[in-house]
Amino acid sequence: MGSSWFILTLQKWIIDLAMNFCTFISAASKFAQLQCLWKTRDSGAVSALTWSLSSYTCATRIITTLMTTNDFTILIRFVIMLALNIWVTVTVLRYRKTAMKAE
């Protein structure tokens, strides 16, 4: 009986570590994307729609987490990811080049 509690505790520790690691990797990739956008000042290879959908997904995950588990740790992670996704979306829209009309 005692060993099963230890395994459950260890499993929770592993899951928490994995979630923190995934959050770190996701945030790092968003910062890398932002750095590339700032350096090139061109968002031609990046889709604003994709980043908007990513922002929408984070927002809906925040709402569903509030409605179901109300887990503060999960909420913080999704709020951080939402802020970063919105930041990338705004940067993509800012550096979007308008098509020149042929005269």
Q: Delimit the domains of the chain by residue range.
A: 2-94
pLDDT band at 100 (very low <50, low <70, confident <90, very high): very low
Whether the predicted pLDDT of 3 surpasses 90: no
pTM, whole model, 2 decimals? Answer: 0.81
Q: Whole-angstrom Cα distance, residue 60 to residue 100?
A: 37
Q: Whole-angstrom Cα distance, residue 49 to residue 58?
A: 14
Contact 19, 65 (CB under 8 A): no
- Predicted pLDDT of residue 13: 77
**Burial per residue of 37-55, b for 16 or more beta-carbon CB atoms within 10 angstroms, e otherwise:** beeeeebeebeeeebbebb
In tens, the pLDDT along 17-60 reads: 888 899 999 999 999 999 999 999 999 889 999 999 999 999 99
Q: Whole-angstrom Cα distance, residue 60 to residue 84?
A: 15
Mean pLDDT of 66-87: 95
> Could you tell me which of 31, 25, 20, 39 has the C-alpha nearest to residue 85?
31
Q: How many percent of the chain have pLDDT more than 70?
A: 84
Query: Domain 2-94 falls in which CATH fold?
Result: Monooxygenase (1.20.1280)
Residue 41's region, left for phi above 0, alpha for psi from -120 to 50, else beta, is left
Whether the predicted pLDDT of 83 surpasses 50: yes
pLDDT band at 4 (very low <50, low <70, confident <90, very high): low
